[in-house]
Amino acid sequence: MNVRVLLFAAAREVVGARELSLALPEGAVARDAMDALCAQHPALAAHRGSLRVAVDGEYARDDAALREGVEVAVIPPVAGG
Q: How far apart are CA 13 and CA 55, in angstroms?
A: 21
- Specify whether the CB–CB gap between 33 and 56 falls below 8 A: no
pLDDT in tens, the chain (81 residues): 999 999 999 899 999 999 999 999 999 999 999 999 999 999 999 999 899 999 999 999 999 999 999 999 999 887 555
Q: What CATH number labels 2-75?
A: 3.10.20.30
Q: Specify the pLDDT at position 77.
A: 82
Partnered with residue 65 across adjacent β-strands are 29
- Specify whether the CB–CB gap between 38 and 45 falls below 8 A: yes
Q: Which residues contact 60 (CB under 8 A, 6 or more apart)?
A: 30, 53, 54
Q: How far apart are CA 30 and CA 73, in angstroms?
A: 10
